[in-house]
Amino acid sequence: MKTLGELLGCSIGDEFARLQVNGVSDDSRVVNSGNMFVAVSGNAADGKIYINDAISKGAKFTVEESSNGSSNIELKDDVVKVYVPNVRMELAHIASKFFESEFSNVVAVTGTNGKSSTVDIIRQIWNFAGRSAASIGTLGIITKSEHKKLSGNLTSPGSIELHKILHDLCSHGVDSVAMEASSHGIEQHRLDDVKFNVCAFTNLTQDHLDYHKTIENYWLAKSKLFSDLADADSRFVVNADSEYASAIYEIANRRKIKCVSYGYNSDDVKILSAKARDTYQQIEALFFGHKIDFKLPLQGTFQIYNSLCAATSCYLTGVEQGTILEALENLSPINGRLELVASYKGANIYIDYAHTPDALKNAILSLRNHTQNRLVVLFGCGGNRDMQKREIMGRIASEFADKTIVTDDNPRNEVPSEIRKMILAGCSDATEIEGRENAIKSAIDNLQEGDTLLIAGKGHEDYQLINGEKIHFSDKEVILNKVAL
């Protein structure tokens, strides 16, 4: 329980400041007596329309966005009504105060691709170093002993859920947290009022243009992690090989924040060579002036970048170089990230979450060095999302794979055949198979010795979204059931 004065970011009079708030929610359906209801507008409806419903369930405090951009507070019909300029920002502040937490280290990782792998690797390095660590993101909430899903399939959870998670982790002794920072989460202030020690950037390529409209807007959303959310004593980690690296350096210089980099063009953590082996990659690099040589048990060039982003972030949080290298050589596979699921008739079958043009290209090219015969790729594109990338992904598959199979992937409320048609505009030589399960089984049936099959798009996901329904579906389960026959 907190006082209203403790929760609000705006100044209020003594008659309101000492009032007790016993709960906070932005969902009127779960409001209880004495709670505060924060009316946040979503994609579907204005949160203000649920205020009366919240009051009928016992809410004694409501927070909503003011019409004139100012702060105000009043008592009306025994309900304290608070008006603020930006209700999402205020919600983050309220949530951080109500669900308090404190950690030794919090690292935020943003970028189009690589966020999930990077935060998972950071968590693994911290755990290897003896710290009690957790990661939060697309793969869920993961600690050394537990793995939970996030609600709503969000990469960055809403402010209340996020601070509840952080509070719970803190109360269970977790001292270091790595979390994904999605463009939606940053733009919608879900990550506000989290104190980040390190903010890291992986890359930026086309994605989410259905929401951001332009790549410029997409970048601006990502950049706010560094320009707005990072504290003055935070440190930045940036992919030196990204075209956006210079922009992050500029932000760092303007804010007088330390910024270090990784990649082939880095002066801090510089990749010298990478050689693909059967089950690992041999990496040579300069790590802050010291030459290092280690075996990375993950496939793909992108996992080299993700691992070095994680290593650099952990180094900035005080983990010693020797411990980091030993941890990297002992990494566990990352769920659904270029994961080898099975071998069948002498062919290897991988799943990967790649659902953007750049990620698909990287996944295909990463497996090329591990393929003796044909490289077969199977994928689809999600419905009610960025349509521009569909033909582009078709062209990429056609150019870099030996055989392409186009199928379905979360069609949502679109007609699956129309989505497939848009993809096929970029790969007219591809095989089209309706139904993802049928497509996977057919692809496996036609494998030859030495082939590699990459099933892309869903990775760790265990559902399909079809006509408003969430139906259980797992690429991994279909593969394992098929090869077991």
Render pLDDT for 379-438 as a digit per residue (tens, 0 to 9): 999 999 999 999 999 999 999 999 999 999 999 999 999 999 999 999 999 999 999 999
pLDDT of 211 reads 62
pLDDT of 410 reads 96
pLDDT of 15 reads 82
Residue 43 has pLDDT above 90, yes or no: no
Report the chain's mean pLDDT, rounded to a whole number. 94
In the chain, pLDDT over 90 holds for what percent of residues? 86
What's the pLDDT tens digit per position in 305-349? 999 999 999 999 999 999 999 999 999 999 999 999 999 999 999
pLDDT of 37 reads 97
* Fold agreement (99-329, 339-484): no
Per-residue HEC secondary structure of the chain comes to CEEHHHHCCCCCCHHHHCCEECCEECCHHHCCCCCEEECCCCCCCCHHHHHHHHHHCCCCEEEEECCCCCCEEEEECCEEEEEECCHHHHHHHHHHHHCCCCCCEEEEEECCCCHHHHHHHHHHHHHHCCCCEEEEECCEEEECCCEECCHHHCCCCCHHHHHHHHHHHHHCCCCEEEEECCHHHHHCCCCCCCCCCEEEECCCCCCCHHHHCCHHHHHHHHHHHHHHHCCCCCEEEEECCCCCHHHHHHHHHHHCCCEEEEECCCCCEEEEEEEECCCCEEEEEEECCEEEEEEECCCCHHHHHHHHHHHHHHHHCCCCHHHHHHHHHCCCCCCCCCEEEEEECCEEEEEECCCCHHHHHHHHHHHHCCCCCCEEEEECCCCCCCCHHHHHHHHHHHHHCCEEEECCCCCECCCHHHHHHHHHCCCCCCEECCCHHHHHHHHHHCCCCCCEEEEECCCCCCEEEECCEEEECCHHHHHHHHHHC
Fold of 2-91: 3.40.1390
What's the pLDDT tens digit per position in 162-206? 999 999 999 999 999 999 999 899 999 999 999 999 999 999 985
pLDDT of 45 reads 72
CA angle centred on 128, ends 122 and 131, rounded to 5°:
80
Tell me the whole-structure pTM to 2 decimals: 0.90
pLDDT of 277 reads 84
Query: Residue 77 in contact with residue 60, Cβ under 8 Å?
Result: no
What's the pLDDT tens digit per position in 432-445? 999 999 999 999 99
For 99-329, give the CATH class.
alpha beta
Domain ranges of the chain: 2-91, 99-329, 339-484
Give the pLDDT band of residue 279 (cuts 50, 70, 90).
confident
Please tell me the distance from the alpha carbon of residue 425 to that of residue 421, in angstroms, as a whole number: 6
Q: What is the mean pLDDT of residues 286-313?
A: 96
Phi, psi for 182 (deg, rounded to 5): -80, 160
For 339-484, give the CATH class.
alpha beta
